């Protein structure tokens, strides 16, 4: 059961099928363009959508809004220093600001950042800094978030000192929310040390990764999530973190570092673009809510409930006929749209088609992780498909109960039962970069069998 009770509630919007069809048409079949009061259950993201605890709301009132030297920063800094062991803590308004500051301070044009998978904003910030982002995922076994260590060694040997950093994303969001093992982190650490290359964590979901290590990796069952998280951070030279996830608050991010010189350079950029180092891009009250959230997120009962909910939800979806990435992680369940909708080719965006259908069926908003978001367009305009066509059903923290998710699974079952009639989509208009945010799309009318 949920290890909390609910003190404050929000009504769910209610829209019938014709209202949903109208809303989707008006949004040009792009779920980013829906208004949130047109969404009944919102599984679009687990980022910034959490419910805060009574202690976090209480902490907000202690927010010190001083421009410099805010006591709230001291609390935030102490919590992050104790968790990570990294002496320098720079607050930012969200994760991508920390990424921009790190990469533009660290990368020289042409240099390489290696990752298990760069999240889309992380890749964009590497490229904006003039660098090249290389993904080396190793997707086998219980730890499908691991980085391919053999490929990393090979790249280091071939690239003549061009690799400037390694970033391990825990858990690997773009690769199905899968965890990275401690053994893999240790192996990456030793390769980085040998090559003299710094290792950073993209720590957005560090607590969930720690919990999955305890569950799946031999030798960690006796440790607490907090202890495992500390071991993960101990292996890294720093981290970029979107605290909108495991900070259990609605806004915030951080950059933590060990290196004095790099920290000084990053601080300069922080002041110029985010804010004075004792608030970054945040209000004092945000820092307070985050400091408290970062303590709550490693609670074993909370994490057990979260992991259990994700695997239960994946089982319900499988029972309803939707193939899921297994074993499920914590923050989301991913449905394999390529297997469910084999009649829709990648250039007609099968996972996006499933997202639209689920909205039409039940007002549920989900997120495409496939060719629309992660594919590339060749110079001649041809679609270069993504590796996977997944639909992510993200789980906001402490927001929805199992009966909400049972409603989603039932609706998904109805969609699965008429899978062969789900249409593909085409792009009507889209910008070149990060097109999924604003693209306008339309369903492709399917010709009758007799035609």
Residues catalogued as catalytic: 67, 119-120, 202, 204, 245, 436
Nearest CB to ligand F0G, comparing residues 105 and 348 = 105
State the nearest-atom distance from the C-beta of 397 to ligand F0G, in Å: 13
State the nearest-atom distance from the C-beta of 11 to ligand F0G, in Å: 24
Helices 350-362 and 402-417 cross at an angle (nearest 10°) of 120
State the nearest-atom distance from the C-beta of 203 to ligand F0G, in Å: 9
Q: Figure out which of the listed residues 38, 53, 94, 373 binds ligand F0G, where binding follows CB under 6 A.
A: 94
CB 370 within 8 Å of CB 309: no
**104 belongs to the binding site for ligand F0G (CB under 6 A):** no
Q: Could you count the other beta carbons within 10 Å of the beta carbon of residue 371?
A: 25
Q: Which of 368, 381, 287 is closest to 70 using CA atoms?
A: 287
State the nearest-atom distance from the C-beta of 200 to ligand F0G, in Å: 11
Alpha carbon 305 to chain centroid distance? Answer: 19
**Tokens (6 digits) for 6:** 């609910």
State the nearest-atom distance from the C-beta of 167 to ligand F0G, in Å: 9
**47 belongs to the binding site for ligand F0G (CB under 6 A):** yes
Residues from 356 through 375 that contact ligand F0G (CB under 6 A):
none
Q: Figure out which of the listed residues 95, 131, 137, 284 binds ligand F0G, where binding follows CB under 6 A.
A: 95
Stretches 90-98, 177-185, 188-196, 382-390: which one binds ligand F0G (CB under 6 A)? 90-98
Measure the CA–CA gap between 211 and 182, rounded to whole angstroms: 11
**103 belongs to the binding site for ligand F0G (CB under 6 A):** no
**Tokens (6 digits) for 149:** 């260590």
Nearest CB to ligand F0G, comparing residues 167 and 344 = 167
**Tokens (6 digits) for 207:** 């607590």
Could you tell me where the beta strands, DSSP code E, fall in 170-322? 199-202, 238-242, 253-257
Nearest CB to ligand F0G, comparing residues 32 and 67 = 32
Nearest CB to ligand F0G, comparing residues 29 and 334 = 334
CB 246 within 8 Å of CB 49: no
Could you tell me where the beta strands, DSSP code E, fall in 118-258? 132-135, 163-169, 199-202, 238-242, 253-257
String of contacts with ligand F0G for each residue 182-221, x by CB under 6 A = --------------------x-x-----------------
CB 53 within 8 Å of CB 296: yes
Residues from 113 through 142 that contact ligand F0G (CB under 6 A):
119, 121-122
Please enumerate in sequence order all residues whose Cβ is within 8 A of that of 114, keeping only pairs 6 or more positions apart, or say none: 134, 135, 136, 147, 152, 155, 163, 165, 166, 167
Q: How many helices (H) and strands (E) does the chain have?
A: 16, 16
Eight-class DSSP state of 83? H
- In angstroms, the Cα distances linking 295 to 252, 304, 350, 422 are 15, 16, 40, 44
**244 belongs to the binding site for ligand F0G (CB under 6 A):** yes
Measure the CA–CA gap between 90 and 99, rounded to whole angstroms: 12
**96 belongs to the binding site for ligand F0G (CB under 6 A):** yes
State the nearest-atom distance from the C-beta of 421 to ligand F0G, in Å: 29
Residues from 416 through 445 that contact ligand F0G (CB under 6 A):
none
Alpha carbon 444 to chain centroid distance? Answer: 30
**144 belongs to the binding site for ligand F0G (CB under 6 A):** no
Nearest CB to ligand F0G, comparing residues 94 and 256 = 94
State the nearest-atom distance from the C-beta of 119 to ligand F0G, in Å: 4
Measure the CA–CA gap between 79 and 411, rounded to whole angstroms: 42
Size of the site for ligand F0G (CB under 6 A): 15
Stretches 92-100, 131-139, 285-293, 349-357: which one binds ligand F0G (CB under 6 A)? 92-100
Nearest CB to ligand F0G, comparing residues 102 and 419 = 102
**176 belongs to the binding site for ligand F0G (CB under 6 A):** no
- Give residues in contact with ligand F0G (CB under 6 A): 45, 47, 94-96, 119, 121-122, 169, 173, 202, 204, 242, 244, 253
């Amino acid at each position: 059961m949920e290890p909390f009770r609910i003190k404050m509630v929000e009504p769910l919007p209610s829209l019938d099928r014709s209202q949903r069809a109208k809303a989707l048409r008006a949004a040009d079949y792009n779920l980013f363009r829906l208004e949130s009061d047109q969404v009944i259950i919102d599984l679009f993201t687990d980022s910034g959508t959490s419910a805060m605890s009574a202690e976090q709301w209480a902490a907000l009132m202690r927010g010190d809004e001083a421009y410099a030297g805010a006591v709230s920063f001291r609390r935030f800094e102490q919590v992050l220093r104790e968790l990570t062991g990294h002496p320098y803590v720079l607050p930012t308004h969200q994760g991508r600001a920390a990424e921009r500051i790190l990469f533009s301070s660290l990368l020289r044009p042409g240099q390489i950042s290696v990752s298990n998978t760069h999240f889309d904003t992380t890749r964009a910030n590497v490229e904006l800094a003039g660098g090249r982002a290389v993904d080396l995922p190793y997707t086998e076994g219980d730890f499908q978030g691991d980085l391919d260590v053999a490929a990393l060694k090979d790249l280091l040997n071939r690239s003549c000192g061009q690799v400037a950093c390694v970033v391990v994303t825990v858990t690997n969001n773009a690769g199905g929310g899968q965890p990275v093992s401690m053994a893999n982190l240790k192996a990456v650490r030793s390769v980085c040390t040998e090559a003299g290359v710094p290792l950073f964590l993209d720590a957005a979901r560090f607590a969930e990764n720690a919990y999955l290590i305890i569950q799946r990796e031999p030798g960690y069952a006796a440790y607490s999530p907090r202890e495992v998280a500390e071991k993960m951070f101990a292996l890294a030279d720093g981290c970029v973190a979107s605290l909108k996830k495991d900070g259990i608050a609605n806004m915030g991010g951080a950059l933590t570092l060990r290196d004095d010189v790099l920290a000084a350079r990053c601080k300069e950029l922080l002041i110029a673009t985010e804010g004075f180092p004792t608030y970054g891009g945040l209000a004092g009250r945000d820092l307070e809510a985050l400091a408290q959230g970062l303590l709550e997120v490693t609670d074993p009962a909370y994490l057990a409930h979260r992991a259990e909910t994700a695997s239960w939800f994946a089982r319900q979806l499988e029972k309803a006929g939707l193939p899921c990435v297994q074993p499920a992680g914590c923050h989301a369940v991913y449905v394999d749209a390529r297997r469910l909708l084999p009649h829709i080719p990648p250039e007609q965006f099968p996972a996006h088609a499933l997202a639209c259908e689920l909205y039409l069926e039940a007002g549920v908003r989900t997120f495409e992780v496939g060719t629309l978001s992660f594919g590339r367009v060749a110079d001649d305009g041809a679609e270069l498909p993504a590796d996977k066509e997944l639909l992510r059903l993200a789980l906001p923290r402490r927001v929805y109960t199992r009966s909400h998710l049972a409603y989603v699974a039932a609706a998904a079952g109805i969609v699965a039962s008429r899978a062969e009639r789900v249409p593909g989509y085409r792009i009507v208009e889209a910008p070149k970069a990060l097109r999924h945010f604003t693209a306008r799309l339309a369903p492709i009318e399917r010709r009758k069998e007799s035609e």
